[in-house]
Structure 1
């Protein structure tokens, strides 16, 4: 059996290239040992290392030539958002480079989008993402990128105008008006956009709830016309004692000051029509006399690819 390779500490918890290892004193024979796993041509990992999505993106990037740039949903995933499939890891390249590699895909283009030190810029990746994304996924991703200041609305709008020929440019212009960078979580974004596309009032996101100059807490979503706060309750709220206690105190403050609120659970959100209907019933109880939810064309468009124009409900 080959001896256990003497891998430097800095390479033990991540994928690394053959060139990196050789430069650090690892021999070619050690790289062929059974304690290493080859992920891509000339890219390795310790066999007992548990791979993450980020590790796969790193590994694929190491295997690519410098002219190939991390892009599309893979560039967004590299920022930390868990959305879509990791494989294939996507790259953009100018010209006719042909490189057959399992679990990686090359998008060829006549001109590169804007780049940063990681790959295409997040704004450029969002434009690319919108070429095939559903409306719902585009809103969730767009809100997330805006909230974390990975991009701005102006940056995306300018890019879609300057490179109007690029796949996704027309679709992203249809999505920009319904994005909201105030949303702190993808679930808040989903609740908001489902209510809006069902024809209910568009909630405001993460609103400080003040009574007599005192801050009671931050409401996830506020339907201001009846002052109803919608609070998304994810698993992390129950699993984190600190968050759980914060929720208890915030809800107690709401009740003590007659602030109406409705908790939206993950189970409710898994049945979106039921969730929207329950919110509407609560709105009606508080005096809302606007239109009832409509589960028509606009609602259905949420789970379809982004159209060239966002149609209104029938």
Structure 2
């Protein structure tokens, strides 16, 4: 590999991490907020797919990608709110409800999104981080999603809110001790419904980044399981919004290895490298999710029987 090829390869990895990592970032932040309140939402895969379709449709019909982003956030919040309301009912299991909502979200997206498979919608603007290079390949690799700065600011805001605000304390309290929360006169169900809705809204931004930037189109295989991977990502990040940034970039970079190799003419094993994010997910779950072991940082209520 020559020096120019190495530069293109490294730029591809960095750019890919920043592009591919954006949906991971938003969905993991959404799940982090939900789980901090003591609820698991496996339905985020359905939220991601539905919001991706709604974002594309909103951009296509309005001509503005930002209207598509807003529509995706609303769609994600609505589906997640349904999950929160159902889980607040007696004897309702978070996991089973999440799987049902995942199937509902994906089914709605596939049914309503069929007319959107062929059309082109207005895309989000790119931030050119490769302006310093004379190489067209490097400049193309370092075109960054305009939603990325929003995700980074959101991660910092969530970290600060959990540590320094009354609302953040209430979310953490609901996740660590439902009895203490009720003893202080607060509604555990209300807090969890609000956190679940907020998590869905944030995850909806991840769906918008899929169809309005990279890969920038709508099809039924757009997500590739990123909503489910986000659950492992949150465990890996130890329920910290700031660590979610690093975890999302790691998974994004892992997913970018194959395309980066192909960009420098190495085609062997291209499809093999596409499974790296799934292998990482499996390793994280095997290492952390062992019987009788509580992961450090885990909200206490998540370890109780649902």
> Does TM, normalized by the shorter one, top 0.5?
no
Who wins on radius of gyration, i.e. which is larger? 1
Q: TM-score, structure 1 length as denominator?
A: 0.25
Q: TM-score, structure 2 length as denominator?
A: 0.25
Higher helix proportion, which one?
Answer: 2
